Amino acid sequence: MASPPLNPNERVRGVVFDLDGTLVDGYDGIAAAVNAARAAFGLPAMTTDDVRGRVGLGLSHLMEDVCGPERALLGATIFRGVYDRVGVEQTRPVAALGATLAALRARGFRLSVANDEALYVGDMTLDAESGARADVPVVLVCGGSSSREALVRTGQPVIEALSDLLDVLPRHAPSGERGS
């Protein structure tokens, strides 16, 4: 179920997207690299969903979390080596990515342009904080590193899938420069 549309008084001409978890799902590759690091230390593998919930604060934090602080540096080296090999092949676009971006462009929205009339779209509570710091409205998409419940607690609009963004934005961007 999608959240209600944005306040019609919000002037949104551009949409700024987060990449991982919002536009692409790279968690299988991230989990493979995490598990390679864990295996090097004799630790059991983690599920992709468990890894998903730990991503977002940088590689050193992730390695401290999944391998332990004393192993974080070597864990990061192992992670990078594996992720460099599998990251691209194990990353896929989120459902309806091409159609959603094409529809937003057709509506006249500038995409990935940061300005004072932009909308920030992300998948984590951290993205809600980023949008707030940039002083732009935020819409959060389920399916990334943060649970739906955590996203809802931010007080920002939450949508189930990227394609639901078409339901919360107006049919056309406000008059002015279109597309981009």
Tell me which DSSP letter residue 16 carries. E
From 18, 20, 25, 164, the catalytic residue:
18
Annotate 22-80 with DSSP letters as a single string.
Answer: TTEE-HHHHHHHHHHHHHHTTPPP--HHHHHTT-SS-HHHHHHHHH-GGGHHHHHHHHH
- Which pLDDT score is estimated for 80? 96
Whether 86 and 120 map to the same domain: the answer is no
In a domain, 176, yes or no: no
Residues 26-85 have pLDDT tens digits of 999 999 999 999 999 999 999 999 999 999 888 999 999 999 999 999 999 999 999 999
In a domain, 55, yes or no: yes
What CATH number corresponds to the domain at position 128?
Answer: 3.40.50.1000
- Which pLDDT score is estimated for 2? 64
Q: What are phi and psi of 128, to 5 degrees?
A: -65, -40
Quote the domain boundaries for residue 51.
27-90
Contact, 22 vs 149, CB < 8 A? no
Residue 167 designated active-site: no
Query: Does the pTM exceed 0.85?
Result: no
